[in-house]
Structure 1
Amino acid sequence: MAFFEELFPARISQDAEGGPRFITSKAYSAAGQRIANREATYPLHEYSIAHPPRSQEDFEALRAFFYVVGGDADAFRFKDWSDFRATQENSNLTRIAGDQFQLNRLYIFGTRTFVRPISKPMNGVIVWRNHGGVWSQASAVVNTATGRVTVSGHSDGDIYVWEGMFHVPVAFKDPSAVWKVLGGPRMITEWAGIELEEVRL
């Protein structure tokens, strides 16, 4: 599988339904107790677009996109309009090794925090460093293809957050497409069953 560093048509993705799906297994004991296990640390996001493009121009862009990624062969960027922005309050960076860090989006409720690695940030990410209790903009190089960051002048104890926008890496679920031409003077083409699934990079 290759990755196509282009964005699925954003005007069409506005109509998407979906979200995260955790990979779990569960069973019930003879006494009725529910036993559940997480089979993977992170969920995979899935999306369904059930509305047709609103213009033939939109459909032409969608059809061309499907051809150039080879159906379900290659992955690409997708904008989840419900969750595409990181702020200083809902983000952090975790250290990989040396001066290499990973961008994360945080989800906090009560005493729990879920850390979601972000692998497809957009250009324009700003990294902030807390050094000795003082916040300042860090000198950092962000790899928009991986979400990894190289920070200059890191010191032990430094804390990092970031702000910017990001995409979800996805692929078409189905290798085939099914569309139909609607009647009327404009002959709009409809493709109502678009299914996308997140891929791990």
Structure 2
Amino acid sequence: MAFFEQLFPPEISRDAEGGPRFLNSKAYGSSGQRVTNREAAYPLHEYRVAHPPKTQAEFESLRAFFYVVGGDADAFRFKDWSDFLATAANTTLKAVVGEANTWQLCRTYSFGTRMFVRPIYKPVAGAQVSRVRGGVLTVLPYAPDPTTGRVAIAGHQAGDAYVWTGEFHVPVAFKDPAAMWQVMGGEGLITHWTSIELEEERL
């Protein structure tokens, strides 16, 4: 599998439905107690797109995209319109184990006393990293790698925390190697492609 650093047509992804799916196992004891186990630390996101018959030009873009990624062969960027903005309030950075001075961009989700930290591997170019030291927020001159979501930060001190701002995408691939579309007819010969399924690729 190769990764195609291009964005799935955003005017089509706007109509998607989907979200995260956790990989959990569960069992029930003889007394009815439920026992669960998280098989993976992070969920995989899944999406379903029903391409509406808008214009033939829009369909041509979608069809060309399917051809160049080889169906389900290569992964690519997808904009989840429900969750694509990184702010100082919903982000953090985590140190990458085994790589000195290297940090991974992350998106955070907080509720009550719990927080879930999700690594972000496909930030949009132009994302900015800031350091919080002694309660003071300072924008740093270090640009995250848009292909990995990692950034090298020099001069780290104990107690330093980091946040970032910008936009991000989800790395996905088509679930099905085959496409099935229908010509709707009429003057414009608009083509309809329903049930496009995408699944996140773990990088």
TM-score with structure 2 setting the length: 0.96
Q: Does residue 93 in structure 1 map to residue 93 in structure 2? A: yes
2:116 to 111, 114, 117: 114
Could you list the structure 1 runs, at least 4 aligned residues long, displaced by more than 3 angstroms after superposition: none
CA contact (8 A) 1:138 1:152 kept: no
Which residue of structure 2 lines up, in the alignment, with residue 136 of structure 1? 138
Task: Tell me how large the CA RMSD over aligned residues is.
Answer: 1.0
Query: 1:141, CA displacement in angstroms?
Result: 2.6
Structure 1: distance between partners of 2:34 and 2:160 = 42
Which residue of structure 1 lines up, in the alignment, with residue 77 of structure 2? 77
Letter paired with 1:158? D
Which residue of structure 2 lines up, in the alignment, with residue 145 of structure 1? 147
Which residue of structure 1 lines up, in the alignment, with residue 5 of structure 2? 5
Aligned residues: 201
Correspondence 1:6-85 to 2 at 5 A = 6-85=6-85
Q: Tell me the percent identity.
A: 63
Is 45-54 or 78-87 further displaced after alignment? Answer: 45-54
TM-score with structure 1 setting the length: 0.97
Structure 2: distance between partners of 1:54 and 1:152 = 49
Q: Secondary structure at the match of 2:147?
A: coil
Structure 1: distance between partners of 2:183 and 2:85 = 36
Letter paired with 1:189? T
Q: Does residue 165 in structure 1 map to residue 164 in structure 2? A: no
Is 163-172 or 53-62 further displaced after alignment? Answer: 53-62
Q: Secondary structure at the match of 1:65?
A: helix
Deviations 1:112-135 (A, max 9, x none): 000000000001111111123321
Structure 1: distance between partners of 2:184 and 2:102 = 52
Deviations 1:79-127 (A, max 9, x none): 0000000100000001114210000000000000000000000011111
Deviations 1:22-56 (A, max 9, x none): 00111111111111111100000000012424110
